[in-house]
Structure 1
Amino acid sequence: MTQTLCVASVPAGHPYIDRALAAPIGSPVQVRVLPDPQPVGAPAGQWWPPAIVASGWINSHRADADLLHLHFGLESFTVDELVAAVDAAHDAGWPVVYTVHDLENPQLVDQAPHVRQLDALLPLVDAVVTLTPGAAREIAERWGRTALVLPHPRLLPNDVEPPRGLAHDLPVIGVHLKDLRPSVDGAATVRILLGTLDLLRDRGVNATGEVRLQRRVRDDEQREQIRFLCAERSDVVLIEHNRLDDEALAEDLAHLDVCVLPYHSGTHSGWLELCWDLGVAVAVPDVGYLREQHDDQATIAGFSREGLDGDRVESLAGAIARLLDSAPKPGSEARHDLAVRRLEERTTTDEMTARAHADLYSDLLAERS
């Protein structure tokens, strides 16, 4: 007999939730996720700030779900509001699960409010989940909680053929700075990238750079620095654009030989997961537990974000050179075959992750019955 559980997820309308909770047909426990309630004044399709956490929502919808699962998007709320939401869930008979995606919140400059949220929530919730063993160790050390480690699911939709990208004469090294949120080391990453292209050229490796930036950014001064840095370079193109939809983003990433992640802080990276789905090589800064998300030296290479610019250039140049030697090229059958193979592997691991979530929910509800 199939058991169906209804989860109030914060948020619901996000690819991570779609993939991580979608138990396969035939599973003894099926999970249904409530759609995101419409925040007051928000446009259609916007889930933030999550109305489920807002005062009174859980009390008014206690019959609509079996469990509360917190993921991210909580920075709009005070610690007292989050504690009140967990207390309301418990009063309604709902267990509460918290997946710690971020030990450092990428949306915040000052991490103190996020740490206060973690300090309040982690002792209070019924179960803790995270994405990597390193994050689980840190959670155990700081809060004494044992976190269930479940890997990030695929981000490329199931019904989408992996884009092949286009072959080109010179390797393209790209960096996406998006809207320059606080965790992005925008101008510094561009400066190091330019130095890296020079160093690679001196060593006989000619490559071009591509810097992408959204038209609406959070730091106008830093955008001007980036424009200035790119303006005089014939080997670098700066592309400013509106926010890309998922299909356009995948197409754009697929034509890169190497994608450089521009973070100076953080814990995990969904961007890394999308590159993994596409078979795109990634240069990863030594931030958080990004390197633990996938163990593959052919398409993932680490570089240091510490030290003087010369040291950082040397480290990034070494990472890119290794990736250019080992990773399949855009437009090649090898790249396409790698992406297809990885997505097939993801089907299995994502089913395991969904089943693990369903089992966790079922166990927690049994404990409260």
Structure 2
Amino acid sequence: MSQLLAPTAGSPRSTSRTVRIASVPAGHPYVARVTAAPGVELLPDPTPPGAEPGRWWPPVVLDPAWVREHAAEADLLHVHFGTESFAPEHLARTLAAAREQGWPVVVTVHDLEHPQLTDQDGYRAQLDVLVPGADAVVTLTPGAAAEIRARWGRDALVVPHPRLLGEIPDDGGAPAPGGERVVGLHLKDLRPNVDAPAATRALLAAVADLRASGVAVRAEVRLHRAVRDEAARAEVRALCAAAGPAVDLVEHHRLDDAALAAALAGLDACVLPYAHGTHSGWLELCWDLGVPVAAPAVGYYAEQHPDGSVATSGPVGDAAGLATALRGLLGAATSTRPGTTERAALVRDRRERRLTADRAAAEQHAALYRDLLAGGPR
């Protein structure tokens, strides 16, 4: 294992004081959770020129000139996401500037395949700069760590995803009238990794299969009013219209955090519509809310919670695989219904487990930062 390059701007920095992190981004719930340990301080996100307050992208921090200008304000650069705005050569110059200023660089690989992109070539080229060039690599699951090791020969620290749920919804979700189970498919704004027609078609076929076998279940398909693919939306609308009363199509503006939590809390299960991807924050929010998830057989979704709450359903569009996954999730002894005392107890239990895990994750990050600043091994 190679040794960490000592900061070129002098001797390793003292680890007895607060560690100041230039994070890309800073203003995100994930980043807030993993940097919540005492003695760790996040620099706020600089606002890009011309952007509205609170927007962090494209990240101003990922610029050699910014790093040099603000070198005295931070001790370490941690890159999470937002790199897609830059060429690989620009990222290489940013990493070099960080080292020139004595900043170690940490990269958390959230995505090995980028959910906001269709063509992955440019993003892979960015990873080819970031992963080998970092002083430490972090990821979320053992499977992702194994892929990182195979592709770049780097050992990644595995730290599970922290919680995303803020407050627990007061009502805990209302069960469907008549006792029907509700399986949700949230297509949001139809970003590039969402295969909306295939996912909708598979869900409707799976629900028809379950209903034919005596399972009282219905589908709830949700779309944002503003979408990126009008043709896909038209196809989803047509599929739902032809499916009859076993499906509700709900179109709405982007939900705020509380409304989103309430919508998810009312589900008996949730289906992920992803054609490609690596990890899912949506899955984490469902877990916090006690909602089991049927996930496609891509990425490492099932490894995020290997406790039976996630079932792999085959590739997106596999109706038979999805029906099997949903039948297992809905029939599991641990399955709970929205609005019940059992669901509420599950949510509270998971909240307590999250608080413990989040403290551990923050402590792992703090220890990593201090080790790097002390000249620890790469």
Q: Deviations over 1:307-338 (max 9, x none)?
A: xx6xx212111111111112111111111101
2-side partners of 1:331 and 1:147: how far apart? 40
Q: How does 1:264-275 map to 2 (within 5 A)?
A: 264-275=275-286
1:164 aligns with 2:175: no
Find 2:27's aligned residue among 2, 8, 13: 13
Q: Deviations over 1:79-121 (max 9, x none)?
A: 1111111111111110000000000011110000011011111
CA contact (8 A) 1:5 1:66 kept: yes
Q: How does 1:42-61 map to 2 (within 5 A)?
A: 42-61=51-70
CA contact (8 A) 1:197 1:207 kept: yes
Q: Which letter maps to 1:11?
A: P
* Alignment partner, residue 223 of structure 1: 233
2-side partners of 1:314 and 1:126: how far apart? 45
* Alignment partner, residue 354 of structure 1: 362
1:138 aligns with 2:144: no
1:320 aligns with 2:326: yes
* Alignment partner, residue 336 of structure 1: 344
- What's the offset of the Cα at 1:160? 4.2
Find 1:304's aligned residue among 311, 314, 325: 314
- What's the offset of the Cα at 1:231? 1.6
CA contact (8 A) 1:139 1:147 kept: yes
> What is the root-mean-square deviation in Å for CA atoms of aligned residues?
1.4
- What's the offset of the Cα at 1:210? 0.7
CA contact (8 A) 2:169 2:258 kept: no
1:207 aligns with 2:221: no
* Alignment partner, residue 277 of structure 1: 288
Pair 1:264–1:127, CA change in 2 (3 A):
same
Pair 1:325–1:162, CA change in 2 (3 A):
farther
Q: Deviations over 1:179-233 (max 9, x none)?
A: 1111111111001111111111111112111111111111111111111111232
Q: Tell me the SS of whatever aligns to 1:84.
A: helix
TM superposition outliers: structure 1 runs of 4+ over 4 Å: 159-163
Q: How does 1:161-200 map to 2 (within 5 A)?
A: 163-168=171-176, 169-200=179-210
CA contact (8 A) 1:162 1:340 kept: no
CA contact (8 A) 1:215 1:240 kept: yes
* Alignment partner, residue 269 of structure 2: 258
Q: How does 1:90-169 map to 2 (within 5 A)?
A: 90-157=99-166, 159-160=167-168, 163-168=171-176, 169=179
Q: TM-score, normalised by structure 2?
A: 0.92
Q: Which letter maps to 2:143?
A: G
Q: Tell me the SS of whatever aligns to 1:234.
A: helix
Aligned residue pairs total 357
Q: Deviations over 1:239-289 (max 9, x none)?
A: 111111111111100000110011111000000100011111111111111
Which structure 2 segments of 5+ residues have no match?
Answer: 1-14
2-side partners of 1:164 and 1:44: how far apart? 33
Q: Which letter maps to 2:312?
A: G
Q: How does 1:7-46 map to 2 (within 5 A)?
A: 7-23=21-37, 27=38, 30-46=39-55
- What's the offset of the Cα at 1:167? 2.0
Pair 1:160–1:2, CA change in 2 (3 A):
farther
Q: Tell me the SS of whatever aligns to 1:301.
A: strand
Find 1:239's aligned residue among 220, 245, 250: 250
2-side partners of 1:49 and 1:276: how far apart? 30
Q: Which letter maps to 1:174?
A: G
Q: TM-score, normalised by structure 1?
A: 0.94
